[in-house]
Amino acid sequence: MKASPEGVLTGVHFMDGDHAACEGAIAAGCRFVAGYPITPSTEVVERFSVRIPTVGGMFIQMEDEIASSIAIQGAAWGGAKVMTVTSGPGLSLMMEHIGLAVMAEVPCVIVDVQRGGPSTGLPTLPAQADMMQVKWGSHGDYQIIALSPNSPQECFDLMIRAFNLSETWRCPVFMMMDEVVGHMVERVEIPPADQIEIVPRRWTTKKPSEYRAFEPGPDMVPDMAKAGDGYKLHITGLTHDERGYPAMNVPAQNRLVRRLSDKILKNRDKIVDVREDGCEDADIIVVSYGITSRVAGAAVEMARGLGLKVGSARMVVCWPFPDVEIARLSRKAKAIVVPELNLGQMVGEVERAACGDARVYLVDHAGGSVHEPERILETILQAARDAGLGFKTEAERS
């Protein structure tokens, strides 16, 4: 269905990624946000608190991120499309409730504007060091979805996709921004509401007497009902059966936990998004995501200028990890270069998918700024030398 026009700021704007993310959420139909201030994400909730009273929605600043991350789940069962927004320390506090949202299949969007860590780290400076935490930080086995925008425009566009994915697959969806994307100001075009495709909540059409809250549909996802509609829901974080009743035994655990993972992994083709450029005949492929993909783009151009066949593959969706795509690329290329704003997180996944078919190089960074393109270029050139590829350096060419 199309977005409802209330609150859609159609037009061309100059705004930063935090503000654009907020506009994306409003356009996607988000009407309930609970948050707690934390740099560099605060602008998202500040804007929402200004905007939502004239759109018809709810904002509450909770007492902490533990509260925010469960208040949104209460609101989702109350019928709202919901979001919370945070950065590293707050994300750490939310971990238990990510598990609850996975277990109870609560559609919700969690924005993480990443900053340098561990601990209080670098509050005002960027990192991409929460990539593993969103996937593995809560206890137990589970799958989530994580998107990685690289511009304010994408903060808007991907926010709509984030809500649509969370409604489709009934799981927490993360917007993995970073301080630079959050604070950079660029042109953001917001389309008319009737050009924004929105996934409505999967409300059940069954009568209360026929409805089972966790009976999966053909896509492995159950339809939802909300409190107050006579369904007498029982929702628990305990392992449960299709009625939602606690069922603490091995078969019930096996059935539920596998389905929660499979609904994401077996539908991964409908979720993953890798943008490839010049990969067809590339010897070296730079795999990147988020803000680092923009710096990587400059390094790729420089390397091509030196006569190397370098491709670029950008993971717009980082989780579920695009392992099929990376495996395909690594069978064709000799080397894969992975720059990321951490000491090596997604690179491990790339290595796992490449499975030795291509040699994988990490360009790490402890955080606090983006990479210098020259550092990525250096690693590309090293990969070229290791692979016996010929190229001319700047000095040789001039």
Partner 1 sequence: MNPTEIMVSDADEKDVDTSRVAPIENPVLSMLRQDRLPHIWCPGCGIGTVVNCFSRALMSSGHDMNNVAVVSGIGCTGRVAGYMNLDSFHTTHGRSIPFATGLRLANPGLKVVVFSGDGDLFAIGGNHFLHAARRNLDMLIVCVNNFTYGMTGGQVAPTTPLKSTQSTMPFGNFEPPMNLPFVADAAGASYVARWTVFHIRQLVRAMKEGMEHKGFSFIEIMSPCPTLYLRRNKLGDGVDQVRYFKEHSVLKNGANTQDVAITATDPIVVGTFVERERPTWLDSRNAQLTATLGDRFVPYGGQNVQK
Interface with partner 1 (CB under 8 A): 1, 4, 6, 29, 31-32, 34, 53-58, 60, 62-64, 66-68, 70-82, 96-97, 100, 198, 200-201, 203, 226-238, 243, 245-246
**Half-sphere exposure of 348 toward its Cβ, with a 13 Å CA cutoff?**
6
Length of the chain: 398
Nearer Cβ to partner 1, position 67 or 302?
A: 67
| Least distance CB 233 / partner 1 (angstroms) | 5
Burial bucket for residue 218 (CB in 10 Å: 0-12, 13-18, 19+)? exposed
| Least distance CB 82 / partner 1 (angstroms) | 7
| Least distance CB 248 / partner 1 (angstroms) | 11
| Least distance CB 33 / partner 1 (angstroms) | 10
Helical residues (DSSP H) of 29-94, grouped into ranges: 42-51, 65-77, 88-93
Helix (H) or strand (E) run with residue 202 in it: none
| Least distance CB 7 / partner 1 (angstroms) | 9
| Least distance CB 2 / partner 1 (angstroms) | 10
CB 282 within 8 A of CB 309: yes
| Least distance CB 104 / partner 1 (angstroms) | 9
Question: Residue 268 carries which DSSP code?
Answer: G
Nearer Cβ to partner 1, position 235 or 265?
A: 235
Report the DSSP pairing between strands 185-190 and 274-277: unpaired
Nearer Cβ to partner 1, position 98 or 337?
A: 98
Rounded CA separation 151/242 (Å): 41
Rounded CA separation 326/328 (Å): 5
Nearer Cβ to partner 1, position 36 or 361?
A: 36
Q: Six-digit token pair at 296?
A: 């990587």
DSSP strands (E only) in 42-201: 58-61, 82-86, 108-116, 122-126, 145-147, 172-178, 185-190
| Least distance CB 150 / partner 1 (angstroms) | 29
Nearer Cβ to partner 1, position 227 or 343?
A: 227
Nearer Cβ to partner 1, position 226 or 332?
A: 226
CB 3 within 8 A of CB 29: yes
69: amino acid identity, one letter: S
Nearer Cβ to partner 1, position 34 or 159?
A: 34
306: amino acid identity, one letter: L
Cβ of 87: how many Cβ atoms within 10 Å? Answer: 28
| Least distance CB 353 / partner 1 (angstroms) | 34
Best CA proximity match to 292, nearest among 265, 268, 316, 271:
316
What string of DSSP letters covers 341-362?
Answer: SSSSSHHHHHHHHHTTSSEEEE
| Least distance CB 368 / partner 1 (angstroms) | 32
Nearer Cβ to partner 1, position 35 or 367?
A: 35
For residue 337, CA distances in Å to 174, 192, 345 come to: 25, 39, 13
Nearer Cβ to partner 1, position 163 or 289?
A: 163
Nearer Cβ to partner 1, position 96 or 277?
A: 96
384: amino acid identity, one letter: A
Beta bridge partners of 37: none
